[in-house]
Structure 1
Amino acid sequence: MLEVLGVDSESETVYAALLSGRPTAPADLAGATGLPPGRVRMALRRLQSCGLVSRRAGRPVVYAAIDPEVSLDGLLLAKHEQLRRARARAGEFGEQFRRSMTTRDPATLIEVVTGAEAVRQRADQVVTSTRHEFRAFDKPPYNPGRELDTNQPELELLARGVTVRALYDAGGIRLPSRLDILRMWTTAGEQARVLPELPTKMGLVDDRLAILPLSPGSGPNPSPSFVVLHRSAVLDALSALFEALWAVALPLEFDNGSSTDPGDLSSEEQLLVGLLTAGLPDEAIARQAGLSYRTLQRRLRALMERSHAQTRFQLGIHAVAHGWVKAPTSGPVAAADSGRGM
């Protein structure tokens, strides 16, 4: 436990044995700790240099522990000061790097990563480097199985208090079992919103990096290509795009405490919701349901009131999120892109 303060495990063991308060000879410490006498003497020298033990004058030579509230607090304060200086130095390096960006070759601002495994590794590295906020565009296609990826890097970000905001393409949330994963992320603290369509898959790390697809690949073994963008006007534009779309997107809510049980919908209502979420226009829905256009409008308005939806799109998202309609159980899931973590 004290290794962070520069005290190795053997030295910590010897120090713990000395905390009885009685000055002890190295030979006795060897018997108490089970360590060879030579290693005990080395540990005592290290502890003495750290200010954790003192050597008493006279013979035989004995050592005593110094009060931990004094000695360990001193080490902690010294370590804190070292970290403060290191943080300040890192800030200086960052500022130096940012100044150099203005004169760098523009080609160095763009990093191209090719190949599914290389993309996954680089993306995970980029995501886990987030300090304050991670923002994402999430949309199909996904690699086979990645539509159900638990996205461990994001869960780790949320666990350490990083803000995560995700915009979802409506097509992605209708994939089989996808909603279970989205519920897990939002329960962990993710802020989620939905739009009918997103322009691309993308991840934004603070205001420092962006990662997004360059080419989806082709052929039986597609090799996706992604780009990592560093600080630049392009990165600023992507950040502005995210914020503009976030402002008009709909919150993805799974339980507002007043949702209608799917079993409470009549067969006609289930048909209407199913046709609506399938993307059919009102005229086609009316024909399929055998209703007049005016009656269809009344039925849809009633469903919107029950779901507290302001728009048809909100009604469709609510219907999928609360199980009013089932996600498709079959159909192609393209394998040209990586999953949420890119």
Structure 2
Amino acid sequence: MLKTVGVSAAEIDVYRALVATVTGSAVEIAAAMGTDGATVERRLAALQQKGLVRAVDGRPGRFAANPPDTALLPRLERRASDLERARIAVNELAETYRGNAWARGPVEVIEMITGAEALRQRLRQIQEGARRELLWFCKAKHVAMPSGTNQAEFEALARGVTYRVLYEQAFFEDVDAVDNVVRAVRVGEEARAVPALPLRMAIADRSVVICPLAPSGSAEDSDDVTAAVIRGSSLLEGLVALFERYWELGTPLRVTLEGRIGESEVAELQSATPVPEDQHLLSLMVAGLTDESIAGRLGVSKRTVQRRIQSLLHIAGVTTRIQLGWHAARRNWI
């Protein structure tokens, strides 16, 4: 616990024993600890040098512990100050690195890594280093990190990092996939589903993205899997915009009290189909007609049009008309 201030675990044990006995000799402390006197004597000397213990005046060979707040707090404050200066220095270096990205050339902007283990390690690193958010595209059939094994996500969520994750529908066909998503959502992950995703990727703090380049059907956990690590560039900005566009169209996944994905469960999204009259209404809505114009075309009231659109939103499991139009097109409703 006190290693961060330069005190070893063995020295801490001796210091604790001395705090408990008020004063003591090396022999007495060794007897209380069940160790030899010579070892305790060496550790007392080290503690005295570090200012944690002092020799008792007029009583040779006896020592007393200095107050912990006097002996240790200044060390902690100096350590905290050193860490803060190091953090500032790292941030300055990172800003310089990003600012000079193009001066370094494309090799530094796009880094290639090979192998499933190297990819897992890099994914862990960007999550451990994230300070604000992680954005994920999760396709079916993993190439390096099986569903439910990303412990770094739970650690990041615990320290306040936001996770927004988009799953394609086929992802939920994997064994235990639904249970793993439920577990993540319960501790703070924001999850949505779309019919299909164009690629796999993870974006940390909008400053670095990892894109596995394995095509569909590639072997899982292959040593041949290759991924691109992309830093500050217009390509990264484009991938962030791609995520946001798919996120806007995704169906929110909510977890019920029973531990299931609720009304918007992916399996249910494909089963519901609107009646032909509503398909006609959808085609008019997607064409850009106002509710009033749609009502005139269908010979119904504007209120009826709005009620039927609300019903279609429920059937599709979405919340906006933009999402509804996108899902209607993808599911051949129009």
> TM-score of the superposition, structure 2-length normalised?
0.72
Select between 171-180 and 128-137 the one with higher mean Cα deviation: 171-180
Counterpart position of 1:51: 51
Residue matched to 2:232: 231
Q: Distance in 2 between matches of 1:12 and 1:145?
A: 40
Look up the equivalent residue of 2:28 and give its one-letter code: D
Among the aligned pairs, what percent are the same residue? 33
Task: Return the offset for 1:281.
Answer: 8.6
Aligned position for 2:167: 168
RMSD: 3.6
Q: Is the 8 A contact 2:269 2:317 kept in 1?
A: no
Cα drift, residue 163 of structure 1? 1.2
Q: Which residue pairs with 1:198 in the alignment?
A: 197
Q: Contact 1:217–1:225 (CA<8 Å) still a contact in 2?
A: no
User: Quick one: which amino acid aligns to residue 137 of structure 1?
Assistant: F
Note the C-alpha offset of 1:96. Answer: 3.1
Q: Please state whether the residue corresponding to 1:24 is helix, strand or coil.
A: strand
Opposite residue 314 of structure 1, the aligned amino acid is G
Gaps of 5+ in 1: 263-272, 284-301, 316-342
Q: How many angstroms does 1:210 deviate by?
A: 0.5
Shift of 1:114: 2.7
Q: Which residue of 2 aligns with 1:90?
A: 90
Q: Give the Å deviation of 1:33.
A: 2.1
1:17-76 alpha-carbon deviations (Å, 9 max, x no partner): 111363222222222223333322221222223221112233423211112232222222
Once the two structures are TM-superposed, the CA of residue 99 in structure 1 deviates from its matched residue by 3.5
Measure the CA separation in 2 of the matches of 1:82 and 1:12.
22
Native 8 Å contact 1:196 1:313 kept in 2: no
Residue 291 of structure 2 aligns with which residue? none
Q: Using the alignment, how far apart are the partners of 2:250 and 2:87 within structure 1? A: 38
The aligned residue for residue 130 of structure 1 is: 130
Give 1:175 deviation, angstroms.
Answer: 4.5
Between 1 and 2, higher relative CO (CA 8 Å, sep ≥ 6) is seen in: 1
AA partner of residue 196 (structure 1): P
Mapping of 1:27-66 within 5 angstroms? 27-66=27-66
User: For the residues of structure 2 that align with 1:157 and 1:279, how far apart are their CA atoms?
Assistant: 37
1:1-342 correspondence to structure 2 within 5 Å:
1-20=1-20, 22-142=22-142, 146=146, 148-175=147-174, 177-216=176-215, 223-255=224-256, 277=270, 310-314=313-317
State the TM-score, normalizing by the size of structure 1: 0.71
Cα distance, 1:190 vs structure 2: 0.3
The 1:20/1:104 distance shift into structure 2, 3 A limit, reads same
Separation in structure 2 between the aligned mates of residue 235 and residue 59 of structure 1, nearest angstrom: 70
Name the structure 2 match of 1:266.
none
Match of 2:302 in 1: none
Distance 1:280 1:72, change over 3 A: same
